[in-house]
Every structure is written in C-alpha cells, then in structure tokens.
Structure 1
Amino acid sequence: MTLRVLLTALLVANLVSALGVVHARHQHRQLFVQATRLEAARDELNIEFGRLQLEQATWAESNRIDQVARDRLGMKFPEGGETVVVRP
C-alpha cells in the first residue's frame, strides 16, 4: 500500500513539475514577444528623437533667428546713439 501511495505522489509531483515547466515556457515566450515589441518602439522613439533634435538645431540657428527678428518682428541692431549704458 505504501508503494502505491509513493508512486502516486511521485506521479502527481511529476505532473505538477511538468505543468510548471509548460507555464514557465509560455510566460517566457509572452515576455520575449513583449520585449521585442518594446525594443521596436524604443528604436522608433530614438529615430524620432534624432529627427526632433535636428529640427530644433535648424530652428535655433542664429542666422534664422536674426532673419525672423528682422522680418517678422521688425527688430534691428541699435545705432550708436541709441545705446545707453547703465552703471551702478
């Protein structure tokens, strides 16, 4: 009788262990797919970040700022007589 109980316990332990392995492999596959998707999203964001840095550098060029200040805002450099120096 004890041999039968021992074999039954070993069989149940073997089944539980096998189900644990199946569950762990399934979870690993799901996490791998999710990691792959996240890496692709990261790569897309890095590409867009590079584009935005390039665009920012283009908009921030000193020649462009000077041109916009003159054309759109009507700004100009002050003449010599228009400059006032304030001393403490």
Structure 2
Amino acid sequence: MKRGALLIPLSLIIAIVVSALAVVRTKHENRGLVTELEGLRSDRERLDMEWAQLQLEEATLANNNRVERIARNQLGMTEPNDYVIVEDKP
C-alpha cells in the first residue's frame, strides 16, 4: 500500500473523532447553560413576587388615612384653624 492511501482514511478518522468531541463539548455546555437559564428564571419569578409584595406594602403604608392617623395620634399634629398664605418677597 502506498503512503498516500493510508493518509486519507487516517485524516478522515481524526476529523471524525475531533468532530465527535466537539459535539460532546457543545452538548455539555448547552446543558450547563440551560440549567443556568432555569435558575435565572426561578430567580426572576421570586423577585417579581417580592416586587409585587413590596408595591402592595408601599401602597398600604402610603395610604392617606393611615398617614393622617399617625400624624394626629403619634405626632400630635392638627389642621390649622386659619389658613394664611405667605408670599415670598425677593
């Protein structure tokens, strides 16, 4: 057999092995990225739920009736009897 006749099949076998290793590596990386994506989606859902709860809490704490009750009871504030407008003079 000639040397050139062995070179072509050998180079094809090497190319097939390299290609197979590349496929395995790519699939492994893909699985890792899918796992990471699922974790990030889970984190996003948790953060969205926390954000909704915080918005509800903020709305509750900023309720006008609540603020007025705290101002009257805890801080002793009252509405003024007379309204006086003071203009700013330059």
Q: TM-score, normalised by structure 1?
A: 0.93
Structure 1 consecutive aligned stretches of length 4 or more whose deviation exceeds 4 Å: none
Please report how far the alpha carbon of residue 10 of structure 1 lies from its aligned counterpart in structure 2 after TM superposition: 0.6
Q: What is the number of equivalent residue pairs in this alignment?
A: 86
> Structure 2 CA distance, aligned partners of 1:38 and 1:23?
23
> Structure 2 CA distance, aligned partners of 1:37 and 1:57?
30
Please report how far the alpha carbon of residue 84 of structure 1 lies from its aligned counterpart in structure 2 after TM superposition: 2.4
Q: Please give the secondary structure, in 2, of the residue aligned with 1:29.
A: helix
Q: Deviations over 1:8-46 (max 9, x none)?
A: 111001000000000000000000000001100100000
Q: Which structure dedicates a bigger proportion of its chain to helix? A: 1
Please report how far the alpha carbon of residue 57 of structure 1 lies from its aligned counterpart in structure 2 after TM superposition: 0.2
Letter in 1 for 2:58: Q
> Structure 1 CA distance, aligned partners of 2:39 and 2:5?
51
> Structure 1 CA distance, aligned partners of 2:81 and 2:5?
107
Counterpart of 2:86 in structure 1 is: 86
Give the percent of matched residue pairs that are identical in Structure 1 and Structure 2.
37
Over the aligned positions, Cα root-mean-square deviation in angstroms equals 0.9
Matches within 5 A, 1:13-24: 13-24=15-26
Letter in 2 for 1:24: T
